[in-house]
Amino acid sequence: MPAEMFPTLLAVSTAAPGAPIAQTDIWDEFYAAVFAGVPNARRLFVEANTVERRHLNWDPRTAFRDGFPPVGPRVEAWEQCALDLGRRTLPAVLAGRDRSKVGTFVMVSSTGYVCPGPDSQLVAELGLRPDVRRVFVGHMGCYAALVGLRAALDALAARPDELVLLTCVEVTSAHLRGEATREQAVVHGLFGDACASVLLGAVPGHTGPEAGPTPAPIAAAVPAGPITPGGPVDGPDSGAVAVAIGARVLATRTEVVPDTAEHMSIRIHEEGFRLRLSPAIPSLIRAGTPGFVDRLLAGTGLSPGDIRHWVLHPGGPRIIDAVGDAFGLTDAQLRPSRETLRDYGNCSSVTVLLALRRLMSGEAGEPPSAGDNAILIAFGPGLTTEAALVRF
């Protein structure tokens, strides 16, 4: 076995609360009355965002029938849903693994706060070691899954004989509001609830010339067994199934565009969290992403044309279009992101992992082959771009 070991995404599992609710039903049975005085609100809510269905822990037709609650009950709902979804996705990615090897657990969310957090209770319920290192990444928005990934990579670099868990969970429905503006019609028609868990470990890398550039090796590995990308990983009866990934992480990058903070933000108000979304965001992403990707790929010997798979955070159809136009991507390359937006909406930090699972499972076409390069990329408040370069 070669001495070089590399940080690798091993498996991913996703879950969402309840049955999907049709976008037209949410509008007709609740929000049509809320946005009755807003011009073109139905087009913004139902048609322009290309979302056809979403999973909502709090169905507005029942949760807000008697008015919009204050922050306290909303955060309580976030906590319970985060626990419920974590109980489904985490056992699936841990199936067949020695749980005593899990040394770090990274949890990501921007839609709730409590201390101790759901990560603490999940560690106990999963039977993980009492000395497992917990990291909570909070309130960074849609790119935060890749911040969690960077924290996981740091843990593997320091302790390559361990496994790392990464869980992203967002319950955006807990913060739906009664504010009747065009901006909030877009927001309320776009966001959904979901959870995704990823298992990472160190596995042998390939160092021959045919393998292309490799990341800096880490010293030892958890015995991971063979990885068949896209293959199922048998899990317990938790309501979720993990899909194998088998992707080495070659590089990561993050950048904040100066003087753009006002375009996207999350603020806490008495009646809940309020999300600000500027219509200028797609144009900013279209202008800035090519240079960002060039800097991500610098030193790897790769160009954008060498990237076969683009796992884009589907923040909205115009964001997908902006990145697709910037790199001349095909419909097939954009399909995992478009279908994720269609079926789940924008689930903040979880969404890029939903698109990754769709790519790996073959639901959106042919899954990756050995040697394929991919970029996972997401955008969020700041305006921040975060990405990871991986190779299958």
- What are 158-171's pLDDT values in tens digits? 999 999 999 999 99
Residue 179 has what pLDDT? 82
For residues 34-44, b (16+ Cβ closer than 10 Å) or e, as one string?
A: bbeebeebbeb
Residue 351 has what pLDDT? 97
Residues in the chain: 392
* Average pLDDT, integer, range 337-365: 96
Residues 121 and 25 in one domain: yes
Does the annotation mark 115 as catalytic?
no
241 lies in a domain? no
Residue 223 has what pLDDT? 33
Residue 276 has what pLDDT? 67
User: Encoding tokens for residue 82?
Assistant: 């985060």
Domain that holds residue 81: 5-211
Q: Which is more confident, 107 or 210? A: 107
Residues 200 and 298 in one domain: no
Peptide bond just before 70 cis, omega within 30 deg: no
315, pLDDT greater than 50: yes
Whole-angstrom Cα distance, residue 356 to residue 390? 12
Number of helices (H), then strands (E), in the chain:
12, 14
308 lies in a domain? yes
Residues 97 and 11 in one domain: yes
Peptide bond just before 9 cis, omega within 30 deg: no
Residue 214 has what pLDDT? 40
Active-site position among 81, 142, 168, 347: 142
Calculate the alpha carbon distances from 341 to 54, 258, 313, 334 in Å: 9, 28, 9, 11
Going by C-alpha positions, the residue among 239, 204, 255 that lies closest to residue 91 is 239
63 lies in a domain? yes
Q: Is 305 exposed, middle or buried (0-12, 13-18, 19+ CB in 10 A)?
A: exposed
Residues 106 and 193 in one domain: yes
Whole-angstrom Cα distance, residue 372 to residue 306? 9
Residues 195 and 257 in one domain: no
Residue 245 has what pLDDT? 97
3, pLDDT greater than 80: no
Residues 170 and 284 in one domain: no
232 lies in a domain? no
Angle at 148 between CA 118 and CA 177, to 5 degrees: 60
Whole-angstrom Cα distance, residue 147 to residue 259? 21
229, pLDDT greater than 70: no
302 lies in a domain? yes
Calculate the alpha carbon distances from 107 to 152, 235, 265, 307 in Å: 10, 21, 21, 29
Residue found by looking up tokens 């790996």 in the block: 360
224 lies in a domain? no
- How many structural domains are present in the chain? 2
One-letter amino acid of 302:
L
Residue 277 has what pLDDT? 67
96, pLDDT greater than 70: yes
Range name among 1-10, 25-34, 164-173, 381-390 with the lowest pLDDT average: 1-10
Residues 357 and 292 in one domain: yes
Q: Which is more confident, 124 or 204? A: 124
Residues 280 and 207 in one domain: no
| Average confidence score pLDDT of the chain | 88
- Tell me the torsion sign for CA atoms 165, 168, 169, 175: positive
- What are 26-61's pLDDT values in tens digits? 999 999 999 999 999 999 999 999 999 999 999 999
* Average pLDDT, integer, range 3-11: 87
Going by C-alpha positions, the residue among 362, 358, 360, 356 that lies closest to residue 375 is 356
% of the chain exceeding 70 in pLDDT: 86
Residue 263 has what pLDDT? 64
- Which of 186, 211, 236 is the C-terminal boundary of a domain? 211
231 lies in a domain? no
Residues 183 and 114 in one domain: yes
Residue found by looking up tokens 């990871």 in the block: 388
Residues 190 and 90 in one domain: yes
Going by C-alpha positions, the residue among 326, 321, 322 that lies closest to residue 307 is 326
Going by C-alpha positions, the residue among 279, 298, 315, 92 that lies closest to residue 198 is 92
Task: pLDDT band for 231, please (50, 70, 90 cuts).
Answer: very low
Residue 221 has what pLDDT? 30
Residues 172 and 253 in one domain: no
Whole-angstrom Cα distance, residue 191 to residue 54? 8
Whole-angstrom Cα distance, residue 146 to residue 142? 9
Residue 234 has what pLDDT? 38
Residue 307 is part of a domain; what is its CATH number? Answer: 3.40.47.10
Range name among 116-120, 148-152, 236-240, 242-246 with the lowest pLDDT average: 236-240
- What are 120-157's pLDDT values in tens digits? 999 999 999 999 999 999 989 999 999 999 999 999 99
pTM: 0.90
User: Encoding tokens for residue 338?
Assistant: 């478009």
Residues 124 and 189 in one domain: yes
206 lies in a domain? yes
